[in-house]
Chain A
Amino acid sequence: EAEVAQSPRYKITEKSQAVAFWCDPISGHATLYWYRQILGQGPELLVQFQDESVVDDSQLPKDRFSAERLKGVDSTLKIQPAELGDSAMYLCASSFGYNEQFFGPGTRLTVL
C-alpha cells in the first residue's frame, strides 16, 4: 500500500539551530500539506501545495519557517532559528485533489 514517507522520525535540536524535515507524498498526489500538532491539540495546517505552488500558507510563521516543493513531488519544511515553542509533531499529508488526506508518520521535534 502506498504511503507518505517522512524523515527524520525524531529530531532533537537546540534553540536557535536550523532544522529541516522531508516529505515524499503518495505517487500521483498533487496536493501536499504540512501540519503542526502540539501535544493535546489537533493538527493545524501550516502550508498547502498544489503541485509546486503554494495554495495556502496563511498560518506559516514566515519569519522562521519556510517550505518548498520545487519539482512538485517531495517537499521540505525548514525552521530557522528553532524556538522552544516549536516542539511538536510535524505531519505531512497528501491527497488526490481535495479528497481524503493520507498522513505520514510525522517528525517529532524537540527543541532544548
Chain B
Amino acid sequence: RKEVEQDPGPFNVPEGATVAFNCTYSNSASQSFFWYRQDCRKEPKLLMSVYSSGNEDGRFTAQLNRASQYISLLIRDSKLSDSATYLCVVKGGNTPLVFGKGTRLSVIA
C-alpha cells in the first residue's frame, strides 16, 4: 500500500462548482498534513495546512479524519485559476514530507 494515495483524476468541473478531493495515508503515526498546489511545469506551493479541527481559507476547506486516516480538500465556487494539480502531503515527527501523486483539476468555462 502506498503511503499516501490520491485519485489522480482529472476532475473536470464547470466554473462555480464545488469539488472535493480525498487522500488516504497509511502511517497512523503521521502528525502533520498539508495540501500543496502545483501548476503545470511549476514547483509545488503550499496551499494550506490541515488541522485536526478542520480549517478554512476563503473558498478552500480542509479536514482531517485521523480514525479513518484520510484528509480532504473542498473547493467552493471553482475558478478557472483553480486548475492545477493538488498534492496531498503527510509528515511524521522527524520524517520527511511524503507526497501523494496528486489530483488534477480542470475548471472549465
Contact = CB atoms under 8 A, between A and B. Distances in A.
Q: Do A and B come from one complex?
A: yes
Interface stretch (A38-46, A63-71, A74-82): A38-46
A18 B87 CA distance: 31
Q: How many residues of A sit at the interface, in one of the four size bands?
A: 10 to 19
A72 interface: no
B97 A45 contact: yes
A48 B94 CA distance: 12
Interface of A: 33, 40-45, 48, 56, 91, 98, 100-101, 103-106, 108
26 contacts: A33-B96, A40-B101, A41-B101, A42-B4, A42-B87, A42-B99, A42-B101, A42-B102, A43-B44, A43-B87, A44-B99, A45-B97, A48-B96, A56-B96, A91-B43, A98-B94, A100-B46, A100-B49, A101-B46, A101-B97, A103-B43, A103-B45, A104-B43, A105-B42, A105-B43, A106-B43
